[in-house]
């Protein structure tokens, strides 16, 4: 059976969700589940959880825990990545330093100064993982959830010879379900085409029996003043297509919102919300560890995580469509071929096969390009050890450039580099 490796397995809530799915599929019940984390306490908790879950469900799965990453990756069939380089302490830096400059962020993991520095500290580790896979498991499929999604897969396929990497994110699935609910039509009856850049993709087709559902969505928005007080509805009104990302996330990829107090209030943008979420994740880990130590186990609830669906489809031949983040190579005609784009992918025993979308509406492609510019410069900075490209990425970032002067941006970058220190690539620190 499949050898499934979890990198960053100490992220116990995520690991629990994926394990709930995998172990609930009878066809995957004999898999070898290999857990890796650099934190021994977190790894031990993940191992105890996986062992308990397999026993509770009566599955003969084999559970291995490995502190050594290469030992974990050796012979892998699938690698599920959820690492967070630097952990909660690095996240605090990503907010604390920009705050001193008056720069607001909400999540800080995808674009903006926080996304840039999350990428810079993550890319060297991901490149090392790609190099390990070339040697130890060249036929494995790397399924990565770690943000920034538009940068991490690109760094692997540009920085190594390992090309079997797909980024996975819930935003498209969640958006399509939300839209179906708003217009009152069962999701399975709706024809969707959604594509773009991760966290800035757009619903290009939204139809029921050949008729556009956008007029019905307009009516739902007109009836609900609370919906109108959101960034994503504001962007839909301006661009003509509904964006996939939540309002709190979407606000920090754009120049028009976070620098304006009145817009933050009008659109109810939760500044620095991710710091609270990150702290809550620490609490969740402690609660899980305590429950396992007391012999109480954890709740097993299949949630149909994308990674588990991809693995099940490949192992059983069950066809599915998932949205994956992959090298563009003409999938979206008016975005750069080397970019990492989010498109529908067919998944079955033949693997993950991206589908060609064609050109995006020009206003959407233009907005995506401003997003991709920051990512390309950040990836180049990390792979080439170019500190100057860190400044360039921050200068071109929409929210950062709308808020700070060029000198302030330069000083902020210097302070961020000093604060993060040795976790950054050589040539930058």
Model confidence at 282: pLDDT above 90: no
Tokens of 142: 């790397």
Q: Is 88 an annotated catalytic residue?
A: no
The candidate with the shortest Cα–Cα distance to 399, out of 387, 412, 386, is 412
Task: Give the pLDDT band (50/70/90) at residue 287.
Answer: confident
Average the pLDDT over 288-308 and give the result.
Answer: 87
Model confidence at 312: pLDDT above 90: yes
Task: Give the pLDDT band (50/70/90) at residue 210.
Answer: very high
Q: What percent of the chain has pLDDT over 70?
A: 100
Instruction: Let me know the angle formed at the C-alpha of 387 by 381 and 388, rounded to the nearest 5 degrees.
Output: 95
Question: What are the C-alpha distances in Å from 64 to residues 19, 46, 144, 269?
Answer: 13, 10, 20, 43
- pLDDT, residue 275, reads 86
- pLDDT, residue 181, reads 96
389 annotated among ligand-binding-site residues: no
Query: pLDDT digits over 45-101, tens only?
Result: 999 999 999 999 999 999 999 999 999 999 999 999 999 999 999 999 999 999 999
- pLDDT, residue 338, reads 95
Model confidence at 421: pLDDT above 90: yes
Architecture of domain 3-89+108-167: 3-Layer(aba) Sandwich (3.40)
Average the pLDDT over 196-212 and give the result.
Answer: 97
State whether residue 157 is helix, strand or coil.
helix
State whether residue 385 is helix, strand or coil.
coil
Task: Give the pLDDT band (50/70/90) at residue 278.
Answer: confident
Task: Give the pLDDT band (50/70/90) at residue 168.
Answer: very high
The candidate with the shortest Cα–Cα distance to 187, out of 168, 206, 171, 201, is 206
The structure's pTM equals 0.95
Q: Would you give the DSSP letter of residue 349?
A: T
Task: Give the pLDDT band (50/70/90) at residue 17.
Answer: very high
State whether residue 169 is helix, strand or coil.
coil
- Domain boundaries, given as residue ranges, for the chain: 3-89+108-167
- pLDDT, residue 47, reads 95
| Residue among 170, 208, 260, 410 flagged as catalytic | 170
Model confidence at 281: pLDDT above 90: no
List phi, psi (to 5°) of 200.
-145, 45
Model confidence at 288: pLDDT above 90: no
Average the pLDDT over 354-377 and give the result.
Answer: 98
Model confidence at 41: pLDDT above 90: yes
Lowest mean pLDDT among 33-37, 216-220, 246-250, 251-255: 246-250
199 annotated among ligand-binding-site residues: yes
The candidate with the shortest Cα–Cα distance to 202, out of 371, 374, 372, 365, is 365
Q: In angstroms, rounded to a whole number, what is the distance separating the alpha carbons of residues 240 and 135? A: 47
36 annotated among ligand-binding-site residues: no
Question: What are the C-alpha distances in Å from 410 to residues 17, 115, 301, 401, 428?
Answer: 41, 16, 47, 11, 13
Query: pLDDT digits over 339-360, tens only?
Result: 999 999 999 999 999 999 999 9
Tokens of 315: 């192992």
Average the pLDDT over 241-257 and give the result.
Answer: 93
Query: pLDDT digits over 114-133, tens only?
Result: 999 999 999 999 999 999 99
């Amino acid at each position: 059976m499949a050898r499934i490796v979890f990198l960053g397995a100490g992220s116990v809530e995520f690991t629990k969700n994926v394990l709930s799915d995998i172990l609930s599929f009878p066809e995957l019940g004999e898999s070898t589940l290999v857990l890796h984390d650099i934190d021994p306490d977190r790894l031990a908790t993940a191992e105890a959880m996986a062992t308990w879950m397999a026993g509770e469900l009566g599955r003969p799965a084999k559970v291995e825990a490995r502190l050594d990453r290469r030992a974990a990756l050796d012979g892998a069939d699938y690698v599920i990545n959820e690492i967070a380089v630097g952990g909660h302490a690095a996240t605090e830096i990503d907010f604390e330093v920009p705050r001193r400059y008056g720069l607001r962020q909400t999540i800080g993991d995808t674009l903006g100064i926080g996304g840039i520095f999350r990428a810079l500290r993550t890319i060297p580790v991901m490149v090392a993982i790609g190099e390990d896979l070339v040697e130890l498991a060249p036929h494995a499929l790397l399924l990565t959830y770690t943000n920034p999604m538009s940068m991490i897969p690109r760094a692997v396929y540009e920085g190594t010879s390992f090309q079997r990497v797909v980024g996975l994110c819930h935003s498209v699935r969640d958006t399509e379900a939300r839209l179906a609910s708003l217009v009152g039509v069962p999701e399975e009856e709706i024809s969707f085409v959604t594509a773009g850049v991760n966290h800035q993709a757009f619903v290009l087709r939204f139809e029921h029996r050949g008729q556009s559902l956008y007029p019905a969505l307009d009516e739902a928005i007109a009836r609900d003043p609370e919906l109108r007080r959101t960034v994503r509805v504001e962007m839909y009104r301006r661009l003509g297509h509904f964006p996939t990302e939540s309002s709190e996330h979407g606000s920090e990829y754009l120049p028009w919102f976070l620098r304006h107090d009145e817009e933050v209030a009008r659109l109810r943008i939760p500044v620095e919300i991710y710091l609270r979420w990150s702290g809550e994740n620490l609490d969740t880990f402690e609660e899980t560890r305590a429950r396992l130590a007391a012999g109480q186990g954890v709740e097993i609830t299949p949630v149909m995580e994308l990674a588990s669906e991809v693995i099940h489809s490949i192992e059983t031949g069950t066809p599915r469509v998932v949205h994956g983040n992959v090298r563009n190579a003409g999938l979206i005609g008016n975005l750069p071929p080397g970019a990492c784009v989010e498109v529908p992918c067919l998944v079955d025993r033949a693997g993950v096969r991206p589908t060609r979308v064609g050109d995006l509406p020009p206003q959407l492609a233009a907005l995506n390009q401003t997003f991709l510019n920051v990512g390309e410069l950040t990836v180049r900075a990390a792979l080439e050890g170019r500190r100057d490209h860190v400044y360039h990425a921050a200068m071109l970032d929409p929210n950062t450039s709308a808020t700070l002067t060029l000198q302030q941006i330069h000083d902020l970058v210097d302070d961020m580099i000093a604060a993060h220190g040795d976790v950054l690539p050589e040539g930058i620190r």
